[in-house]
Each structure stands twice: as C-alpha cells, then as structure tokens.
Amino acid sequence: MKPSKPVILTGVRANNNIHIGNYFGAILPIINMAKRRSDEYDINLFIPDLHSFTTPIDHSKLYDSILNNARVYTAAGLPLDNPSIHLYRQSRIPAHSELAWILDCFTGFGEMSRMTQFKDKGSKGDASVGLFNYPVLMAADILLYGATYVPVGDDQTQHLEFTRDIAERMNRKFGDLFIVPKPVIQQHQFFGKDQGLRIKDLVNPAKKMSKSDESGKGIIFLSDDPKSAHKKIMSATTDSIGKVQYDKENQPGISNLLEILTLVRQDAGREVTLEQTANEYFGMDRYGDFKRIVADEVAEFLENFQNRLAAVDEQAIEEKLASSEKDMNAVANETLYRVQKAVGLRK
C-alpha cells in the first residue's frame, strides 16, 4: 500500500500532564491542520512511544499514557473516521527500529555529538545511548513514509536537518532510496508561523506556562479539577494599573487572561477573536470581576473537555490504531525492503 498523496507527518507525544498551553498551542493546531490538509495530503500522526524512555520514566505508566494520547486527541476532535489520517504507535511498526539501526551505521559519532539537544540534556548525569542517537530514530520515523512536511519547533530543526543529510547521503551512495523532506524554511512557510501562541504562567506571566515548573500553581492542566483551576485563575498575578486592556508589555497577566478567555470561547464553538474579547472588557477596573468571568469559563471548558475525554469511544480508538498500524506497516516495510536490498541484506 503506497500513499497516493504527499505525506505530512508529526509525532504526538506520550504525555500525561498536558496543560492548556500544550492543548491550544500544539494539539488543536495539529488537529486543525490534519482536518484542513487531509484532502491533499496523507496525514501521519504517530505516537513516538519508543522515544518515551530515552530518559528514565515510570514504565508501569507508559502503556496507559500511550493510549491516553490517542484519547486526548480524540476528545479534542481528531476525526477517527477520516481515511487520510493515520494514527499509529511507532513501536507497533518494527521497521522504525530496523531502519534506525541501518541508518546508525551510516551516521558519524561526531555528527551525533554535535546535536545541541543532546549537549543540553545529555550533559546532565549518565545519558543513555538511546538519548544520544534518537535523532537517527527520528530520521527513520520520517523517511519510512517519505514524508515531505514535518512541523518542527526550534528544538527539532537540527534533527530535521540531520534527517535531510542522512537521506541525501544514502541516496548518493545507493541511488534514490528516500524522499527528502523539505528544508526547515519551507516547513515554516508551509505551516505558517505556528510558534506564535504562548500561554503564560499564571503566577509569573513573564514566562510561558511549562509543565516542568515546580509548584504547578501557575499551570492549568487538562486534568485539573475545575474548582481548583477556578482558584488558580482567581489568584493569577495581575498588575497595579487597574484597567483591563490587552498590553502584553505592561500588563502581561491580564493580557494572558484575555488570550485564555478567547481560546476557551473558541473551543466552545464561538467565533470570537482576541481583539473582540479585549474590546468587550476594555477598561473594566475590577480585576476580581474580570478574573471570575475567566475562571468560570475555564472551569466550564475543563468540565466539557473532561466529559468528552470520559466519553471517547475506546473501541473506535483501538480499531483506528489497529487499521492504521496495518496500513503503515505495509508502507514502512516497502521502504525498509528497498533499503535492505540496497545495503545487500536482500537480493
């Protein structure tokens, strides 16, 4: 089974504590992109579960967190019945590991040592070989399906460049084996500036909301009890200016709340823009009242989301995974077979 359309591929990370920044900044944009582009492209959404333990984790929770990813995407609106959208677990397609090994043998030790992410994360304590060469596995994830477009954040651009390098190197040595993904600049042009949205921490609105923040007081997790989320918003840091307006520079806390309010309203199906929300509350001088409006609507959003999550059709998810994994094994094995022949493993 060969995909008839060009492929857009993106990893959907196994992760149990997703916050509203991840949801509005990463998950929804992927789902919207998948819906919008699936006429013209095959959309590969894979759960990179082999990447989940390049650093130590609690393995007793991995299995459930993998499925939870699929549940969260489904609750967020991923259409499971769209045949151009493929949802699969990396570990269920053995070709990923096999191709990664072959590519490993054409990758320089020095080349991997220069990856800045390894230098950052690997310098702390005793890094695993898995962490060291995960960019090679990532290259295999992309090249197996001949993906043209892969949305990457800044932390992944070097790995995408490596993917292009190794693909071109193999193509030079063995003839046309791989489709080379587009360069980073063209990726950005294709996906638009998706790095725009940054929900800020509620306690310290100078920095972005981040799950690795110690206290958790400034973060709204999708799993938060709506009541405690309400409290977090009510105690969000504001300013001494005393007038609601969208001014990121001087009123980052209030501006952040205006953004959050707009996003939860959009999620509820209302067609509002940030500008409209900002106009609606412009000049309001009682921050407590404004916060209560935001807190109420965020609590409502969480309640809705949690209801949707509880109601996802587990069987439909299992069936989607099974059918995508069957199809993607066929695609991936075709590429792997070609590579195995090229390197002399098969006739």
- Residue 329 CB: number of other CB atoms within 10 A? 17
Q: Restricting to residues 210-269, which ones interact with ligand ATP according to CB under 6 A? A: 210-212
The amino acid that residue 196 corresponds to is: G
Q: Kindly state the smallest distance separating residue 56's Cβ from ligand ATP, in Å.
A: 15
Name which of residues 149 to 168 contact ligand ATP (CB under 6 A): 153
Distances (CA, A) of 156 to 109, 138, 152, 197, 274: 19, 10, 6, 18, 29
Name the residue number minimizing CB distance to ligand ATP.
Answer: 25
The residue assigned the tokens 């994830």 is: 141
DSSP assignments along 109-151, one per residue: HHHHHT-HHHHHHHTTTT--HHHHHHHHHHHHHHHTTTEEE--
Q: Which of 198, 231, 248, 265 binds ligand ATP (CB under 6 A)?
A: 198
Q: Which residue has the tokens 């199906």?
A: 269
Q: Site for ligand ATP (CB under 6 A): which residue of 66, 70, 209, 332?
A: 209
Q: What does the alpha-carbon distance between residue 8 and residue 86 come to, in Å, rounded to a whole number?
A: 10
Check binding of 25 to ligand ATP (CB under 6 A): yes
Q: Does 21 bind ligand ATP (CB under 6 A)?
A: yes
Token output for 193: 């500036």
**Integer Cα distance of 288 and 165 in angstroms:** 55
Phi, psi at 249, each rounded to 5°:
-65, -55
Is 121 a binder of ligand ATP (CB under 6 A)? no
In the bound complex, what is the minimum distance in angstroms from residue 144's beta carbon to ligand ATP?
22
Q: Which stretch binds ligand ATP (CB under 6 A): 99-107, 207-215, 224-232, 292-300?
A: 207-215
The active-site residue, picked from 5, 211, 217, 231, is: 211
Q: 121, 217, 231, 243: which one is catalytic?
A: 121
Q: Which residues are catalytic?
A: 121, 208, 211
Chain contacts with ligand ATP (rule: CB under 6 A): 21-22, 25-26, 153, 197-199, 208-212
